[in-house]
């Protein structure tokens, strides 16, 4: 049986970027993320309803960075 997908809100982010050694993929206004704990990819839903599938951090040289919305407490990111 496959591992359950975990879903979390990331609506406190302005944007999220995936950097592959200088090649950057940006998602503006992400709202939700779904992933498997041991998975190699994850899915991000943006505010326009588009789903983006990206390698998980550490796979394919992927590094993730994001900007939080003003006023978001540290504990939420």
In a domain, 71, yes or no: no
- Considering only residues 3 and 27, tell me which one the structure prediction assigns the higher pLDDT: 27
In a domain, 72, yes or no: no
Distance CA 7, CA 9 (A): 7
Report CA 73 to chain centroid distance, whole Å.
Answer: 18
In a domain, 51, yes or no: yes
In a domain, 1, yes or no: no
Global pTM reads 0.86
In a domain, 75, yes or no: no
Domain count, the chain: 1
Mean pLDDT of 33-39: 94
> What mean pLDDT, rounded, does the chain reach?
92
Q: Which domain holds residue 52?
A: 6-66
Q: How many CB atoms lie within 10 A of CB 7?
A: 11
Distance CA 42, CA 73 (A): 24
Q: How confident is the model at residue 3 (pLDDT cuts 50, 70, 90)?
A: confident
In a domain, 36, yes or no: yes
In a domain, 54, yes or no: yes
In a domain, 52, yes or no: yes
Q: Which residues pair with 31 in a beta bridge?
A: none
């Amino acid at each position: 049986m496959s591992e359950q997908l975990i879903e979390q809100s990331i609506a406190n982010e302005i944007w999220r970027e995936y950097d592959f050694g200088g090649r950057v993929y940006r998602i503006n206004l992400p709202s939700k993320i779904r992933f498997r704990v041991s998975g190699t990819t994850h899915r991000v839903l943006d505010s326009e309803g588009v789903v983006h599938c990206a390698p998980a951090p550490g796979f394919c040289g992927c590094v993730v960075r994001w900007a939080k919305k003003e006023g978001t407490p540290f504990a939420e990111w």
